[in-house]
Amino acid sequence: MAVRGLVKCYGSVTAVDGLDLTLAPASVLALLGPNGAGKSTTVDICTGFATADAGEIRVLGTDPAGAPDALRARIGVMPQGGGAYPGVRAGEMLRLVASCAEHPLDPAWLIDVLGLGGCARIPYKRLSGGQQQRLALACAIVGRPELVFLDEPTAGLDPQGRRLVWELVDALRRDGVAVLLTTHLMEEAEALADHVVIVDHGKVVAEGSPTALTTGGDQELRFRARPGMDVADLATALPAGYHAAETLAGRYVVQGRIDPAVLSAITGWCAAQGALADDVQVARRSLEDVFLELTGRELRP
Amino acid sequence: MSTPFAPGTFTPRPGAGAPARMLAAQAATELRLALRNGEQVLLTLVIPVLLLIGLTVVDVVPLPEPRIAAVTPSVLALAVMSTAFTSQAISLGFDRRYGVIRRLAATALPRWLLVAGRLAAVLATVALQMVVLVLLAAVLGWRPPAAGLGWALLLVLLGCAAFAALGLLLGGTLRAEIVLAVANAVWFVLLLAGGIVVPLERLPGPIAAVAALLPSGALAEALRTVLTTGAAPGAGPVLVLVAWTLAGTALAVRTVRLR
């Protein structure tokens, strides 16, 4: 899949503003971004549910505009919020979707392996959010597609359900399926994605492999100590270029290259303040750190 | 870490299912859901059955004797309207709301098969209604002329076409709550003033003139003609039904978004 210069506006709001994406076969691309960043709009356009105002989009060699039947037979889509008749049973819904594919997976097996066997006869409206989510995932993959779009596939899932979905996405990639997933879970992107694209205000603000995005930059030293210490004073005790902050009361972060001398300077400064630096941890930046750095910490509507 | 997914499980083998299999699966699912939904069963079966019995045994509407001969065509027309228009519009409106149409539109199911599956379920429901209502009417003493039965079947199919086109148009364009309100209001108005319960000749002049041009009045009047006299229906009601079918279909094709 290749997207170049994608633009989509809703009235005066530009939802996607010149976005570029490339997804190779047998790989997982994670699209990250705050609420309203343009992730779902991008998925909608790539799956033919919306049309672009500008840009070139090729999905499996086809323009998805209008979602031609031939393309829809080759892709699997898990829309946000799923979608099923309120009164339909999980097994019925999956068999209906499976009937639309030439060589579908066995719906009964899929229901069972996704932990829906015990509720295959329960109406959709009475399934839990996690069960509905797993059914939506089953509907997306039952047709044995080449390319799968998963819009927040683990939203509302418990840790066991999330782990199962991760195993499934891993198996899809192993078997040659390309996967585009949107998610708010940085841990999920780090665990699954070969390539991460962070979008904000409809634009790509960073991209690369999870490793490339989280290394090469600063490290972090985190510690706990008495709340309210003067972090500006701490910064002056460190070499130039280091950044210190109290992220939550009594929780401090120092960003920069952490070596023994810096570690010693920090613990020494704490001692000078009459405080013990407790629970000291040195770590490379997480994807979440990168994400917050790029998209800010303020809440999005 | 063990995985429940053996290598090769998801190796892509994409392709669209056979159209006949998609149609059968879609129609069967829609039919099962319609028969499982209490409100739809009330509208499509319980109310017509109660009206058939009630209007036959209770003299609330002046009708020629035997009353069952006048009541049965009316109730058959009501059954068609209830299923093909009211129930169809409401279910489509809420299926859109609940993301069902979007879910199915994301599969290889072509749009025309999506519509065809719904219409096949409508036809199956109407067939069930006809069997139940005709058998009940027979028990109540209804003996229609055999010559009219073939015409009645054609009129029921034409009525299904007209009402289904309008049902798709309504359910496929407006918000679910508005569809619910409009479909029920239209059902009630057409039941009382659209030539269904009260024959056109017993409605006030201006109302009768309008009702004759409505699909409800045209279908009920034509069914009354063929099932009481055995004669062919007049050209007027047939043309009215054809016109509503064509107009409803044309508008639905232009305005309904099945995504």
List, for residues B10-28, the tens digit of each pLDDT value: 999 999 999 999 999 999 9
Give pTM, 2 decimals.
Answer: 0.83
- Token pair for B157: 């199919």
> Is residue A247 over pLDDT 90?
no
Question: Are the CB atoms for A78 and A143 separated by under 8 Å?
Answer: no
Question: Average pLDDT for residues A77-93, to the nearest whole number?
Answer: 89
Other beta carbons less than 10 A from residue A271's beta carbon: 11
Check CB contact under 8 Å for B14 and A175: no
> Is residue A299 over pLDDT 70?
no
> Is residue B1 over pLDDT 60?
no
Q: Which of A11, A9, A10, A29 is closest to A20 using CA atoms?
A: A29
| Lowest model confidence (mean pLDDT) among A23-27, A92-96, A285-289 | A285-289
Check CB contact under 8 Å for B5 and A139: no
> Is residue A216 over pLDDT 70?
no
d(CA A43, CA A23): 13
Cα A179 to chain centroid, rounded: 12
On whether residue B158 sits in a domain, the answer given is: yes
> Is residue A151 over pLDDT 60?
yes
- pLDDT at position A157 is 86
- pLDDT at position B259 is 66
On whether residue B103 sits in a domain, the answer given is: yes
Check CB contact under 8 Å for A69 and B16: yes
A42-78 pLDDT, tens per residue?
A: 999 999 888 999 999 999 999 998 768 888 999 999 9
Torsion angle in degrees (nearest 10) through CA of A134, A136, A142, A147: -110
If one counts the domains in chain B, the total is: 1
Check CB contact under 8 Å for B17 and A174: no
Query: Considering CB atoms only, which of B7, B21, B100 is closest to A85?
Result: B100
Question: Average pLDDT for residues A153-177, to the nearest whole number?
Answer: 91
Indicate the average pLDDT of chain B. Answer: 92
Residue identified by tokens 């080759």 is: A74
B87-108 pLDDT, tens per residue?
A: 999 999 999 999 999 999 889 9
On whether residue B178 sits in a domain, the answer given is: yes
B155-196 pLDDT, tens per residue?
A: 999 999 999 999 999 999 999 999 999 999 999 999 888 888
d(CA B251, CA B259): 17
Residue identified by tokens 């099945």 is: B258
On whether residue B11 sits in a domain, the answer given is: no
- Token pair for A56: 């070139």
In chain A, the percentage of residues whose pLDDT exceeds 90 is 54
- pLDDT at position A218 is 66
On whether residue B151 sits in a domain, the answer given is: yes
**Half-sphere exposure (CA, 13 Å, Cβ side) for A162?**
15
> Is residue A30 over pLDDT 80?
yes
Parent domain of B172? 20-255
B14: which chain A residues are within 8 Å (Cβ-Cβ)? Answer: 73-75, 101-103, 143-146
Residue B223 is classified by DSSP as: H
B29: which chain A residues are within 8 Å (Cβ-Cβ)? Answer: 85, 88, 92-93, 96
B20: which chain A residues are within 8 Å (Cβ-Cβ)? Answer: none
- pLDDT at position B46 is 96
Question: Are the CB atoms for A134 and A161 separated by under 8 Å?
Answer: yes
A85: which chain B residues are within 8 Å (Cβ-Cβ)? Answer: 29, 33, 95, 98, 100
**The domain A2-210: what is its CATH number?**
3.40.50.300
Residue A48 is classified by DSSP as: T
Check CB contact under 8 Å for B14 and A83: no
d(CA A266, CA B197): 89
d(CA A177, CA B12): 7
Question: Are the CB atoms for B227 and B152 separated by under 8 Å?
Answer: yes
* Angle in degrees, CA B201, B184, B241, rounded to 5: 50
> Is residue B199 over pLDDT 90?
no
- Token pair for A288: 């979440």
Distance (Å) from the alpha carbon of B23 to chain A's nearest alpha carbon: 9
- pLDDT at position A297 is 58
Residue A291 is classified by DSSP as: H
Using left for φ > 0, alpha for ψ between -120 and 50, and beta otherwise, residue A24 falls in beta
On whether residue B245 sits in a domain, the answer given is: yes
Pairing outcome for strands A28-32 and A54-58? unpaired
> Is residue A294 over pLDDT 90?
no
The secondary structure element, H or E, covering residue B166 is: helix B147-171
Residue A119: pLDDT band with limits 50, 70, 90: confident
- Name the residue with higher pLDDT: A228 or A282: A228
Residue B62: pLDDT band with limits 50, 70, 90: confident
Residues 6+ apart with CB under 8 A from A193: A28, A29, A30, A181, A209, A210
- pLDDT at position B124 is 96
Helices (DSSP H) in B140-258: which residue ranges?
Answer: 147-171, 176-193, 205-212, 215-229, 235-255
Q: Which of A142, A197, A188 is closest to A167 using CA atoms?
A: A188
Question: Average pLDDT for residues A171-188, to the nearest whole number?
Answer: 91
In chain A, the percentage of residues whose pLDDT exceeds 70 is 94
Pairing outcome for strands A278-284 and A219-224? antiparallel
Indicate the average pLDDT of chain A. Answer: 88
On whether residue B12 sits in a domain, the answer given is: no
**Half-sphere exposure (CA, 13 Å, Cβ side) for A94?**
33
Residue A285 is classified by DSSP as: P
On whether residue B9 sits in a domain, the answer given is: no
Residues 6+ apart with CB under 8 A from A31: A21, A39, A42, A43, A180, A181, A182, A183, A197, A199
Check CB contact under 8 Å for A73 and B9: no
A49: which chain B residues are within 8 Å (Cβ-Cβ)? Answer: 102, 105-106, 259
Check CB contact under 8 Å for A84 and B109: no
